[in-house]
Amino acid sequence: MAVIDGIAAIHADACEKLHGGFATQDADVFNVANFVQGLVPGRHAFRREVFVGLDRLSRKLEVARKIYAVYRRGDFKPHPTMPPADSATLNALLAGYLEAYRQTENLRYLNTVYKTALVGLIVPADAEIDSRIIPTAEELLWSVAERA
């Protein structure tokens, strides 16, 4: 399987498990589950605002090591009434970072994947990381030919 198909499978499987139920249409909030559904691998190059979203969330994953379901747009602080992001959201997001690396070859994005999956998160502490994510990251990291 080409690496892009592997990323797409991780993303699709995670998105199937996503559930709604949050006040997601509010223009003042950034809903992570909505955001990750737009990170479809291979379809087209991510737009600039997608990379901005990934960059902001990477700080949550790598520095705070906490990721919540919804953030306030103004200060990008967690929305006070919202729960942590669930595993499906997190896996779809990590697939987005794999795809961002595939598109840009910027290791910044793989760094987020490794640190999230291998260092772990404080919130949610019980996230179930898709077992295909690290092997896919390794394939991307060490195989230039696969990215063509």
Partner 1 sequence: MWPNVREINLTIIGDRACGTTRAYLTYLAAAGFRPRALWLVDFFPAPHVARRVRSIPLVGLSWANRIHRGGRPSGETMTPLMTRLCDELQAAAPQPIDFVGDFDFAHFAGSLRNFVAEDFDDPFLQNEIIGHCDQPFLYTNGGIVPKSLLAHPEVRILHIHPGIVPQMRGSDCLLWSCHRRGRLGASCFYMASGIDEGHLIRRTEFAVPDLSCLRDYLTAEHEDTVYRALSRAFDPHIRAMLFAEVVADAATSDLGAMPAEPQEANDEPAYLWMHPRIRLKVLRDLVAKGQQNPNGKLETIPA
Which residues lie near partner 1 (CB under 8 A)?
52, 55-56, 58-59, 62-63, 106-108, 110-111, 114-115, 118-119, 138, 141-142
Q: Given the complex with partner 1, which of 87 and 111 has the nearer CB atom?
A: 111
Instruction: Report the C-alpha gap between 44 and 46 in whole angstroms.
Output: 6
Count of beta carbons in the 10 Å neighbourhood of residue 124: 18
CB of 110 to partner 1, least distance (A): 6
Least separation, in Å, of the C-beta of 17 and partner 1?
26
Give 2 or 118: the residue with its C-beta nearer to partner 1.
118
Q: Which of residues 72 and 108 has its CB atom nearest to partner 1 in the complex?
A: 108
Shorter beta-carbon distance to partner 1: residue 1 or 142? 142
Nearest distance from C-beta of residue 125 to partner 1, angstroms? 20
Q: Cα separation of 104 and 90, whole Å?
A: 21
